[in-house]
Amino acid sequence: MKRYEERRDDLAKAVASLKAGLEEPATELAIDGVLHRFEFTFELMWKTIKDYLEYIGIVEKTGSPREVIKSAFENALIEDGEEWIDMMLARNQLSHIYDKQMSRDIYFDIKNIYLSLLEEVEQKLPSKLDN
């Protein structure tokens, strides 16, 4: 499961990078950087969770982010399924958002809610899998 382990390593770096971005003063450029890092980190997170759930025999090779979040919640990998769905929807909005206030609202949700959710799961996922 080399793919999982590579993604898991990349995920740890992505979460740390997102956290570092949030520690910067909230200038327009810094906020835009955090939003971009969040999109990347969320995508990497759900794919890493999917790889892990596949490895332990929970999910099939296909699945949307929503299905993976549901399976992760059902298997106690994540604790607050509603917040994760909200995070997924926020990530989806960023792809189509042109409203400055809405993007700033998402930035504050990342800072106040989503980062801790991402960190929590990142800590739960094993770095290595038994071969």
Contact 74, 63 (CB under 8 A): no
Q: What is the pLDDT of residues 6-16, one digit of tens each?
A: 999 999 999 99
Number of Cβ within a 10 Å radius of residue 46:
23
Residue 45 clears pLDDT 90, i.e. is over it: yes
pTM above 0.85, yes or no: yes
CA gap 100, 42 in Å, rounded: 21
Residue 52 clears pLDDT 90, i.e. is over it: yes
Q: Where are the domains of the chain?
A: 2-124
Q: What is the pLDDT of residues 92-125, one digit of tens each?
A: 999 887 788 899 999 999 999 999 999 999 999 9
CATH number assigned to the domain covering 2-124: 1.20.120.330
pLDDT at 128: 85
CA gap 92, 97 in Å, rounded: 9
